């Protein structure tokens, strides 16, 4: 199998067919693989970029005077100068997900772990019944952000190093 002329990793074959139902696996106690592209979308006539960065986290908190729900915990405020503010935080993709996909790993075309799906935008609610790539997006936390936070906010470099062992 190839994607953009590059070989794709081999995926395991399912061990059993879909128990003679008319719907495909919903990712809750069933295997569900979804392909997608990191891609922004348009909402209310405005472009929504495919990813956010740490700089935006601090800008948003400042814009709202660090008041709920945009307030940052003291640990995050105190860590700002140690962080690379260009680090990607979240990204959206066209992956066809449902609620059972929360916690699913996101891998790139080289089978490298790049994030964890944790939500979908409001337009993704329709994905339980039909797929649309126009606006529906899976939302994932970027693995670079996880490592940056572990090392520079939570002082958990040992854990970050352990996650990187292969």
- Show the tokens assigned to 24: 């495909």
CA 94/CA 37 separation, integer angstroms = 5
Q: Where in the chain are the domains?
A: 35-164
pLDDT at position 141: 98
Q: What is the pLDDT of residue 2?
A: 46
- Which CATH code fits 35-164? 2.40.10
The answer to whether 54 touches 90, Cβ cutoff 8 Å, is: no
For the entire predicted model, the pTM comes to: 0.81
Write out the chain's pLDDT in tens, 166 residues.
Answer: 445 556 666 655 555 555 555 566 666 766 777 889 999 999 999 999 999 999 999 999 999 999 999 999 999 999 999 999 999 999 999 998 887 788 889 999 998 999 999 998 888 888 778 888 889 999 999 999 999 999 999 999 999 999 998 5
pLDDT value of position 1: 46
- The 10 Å Cβ neighbour count of residue 38 is 20
- The answer to whether 69 touches 75, Cβ cutoff 8 Å, is no
């Amino acid at each position: 199998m190839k994607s953009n002329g590059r070989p794709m990793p081999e995926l395991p074959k399912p061990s059993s067919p879909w128990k003679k139902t008319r719907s495909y696996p919903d990712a809750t106690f069933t295997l569900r693989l979804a392909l997608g592209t990191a891609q922004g979308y348009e909402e209310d006539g405005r472009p929504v970029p495919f990813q956010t960065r740490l700089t935006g986290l601090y800008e948003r908190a400042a814009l709202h005077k660090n008041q709920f729900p945009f307030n940052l915990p003291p640990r995050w405020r105190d860590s700002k100068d140690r962080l690379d503010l260009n680090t990607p935080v979240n990204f959206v993709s066209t992956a066809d997900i449902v609620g059972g996909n929360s916690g699913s790993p996101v891998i790139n075309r080289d089978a490298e772990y790049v994030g964890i799906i944790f939500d979908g935008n409001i337009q993704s609610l329709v994905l339980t019944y039909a797929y649309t790539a126009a606006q529906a997006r899976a939302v994932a936390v970027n693995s670079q952000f996880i490592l940056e936070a572990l090392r520079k906010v939570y002082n958990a470099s040992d854990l970050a190093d352990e996650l990187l062992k292969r």
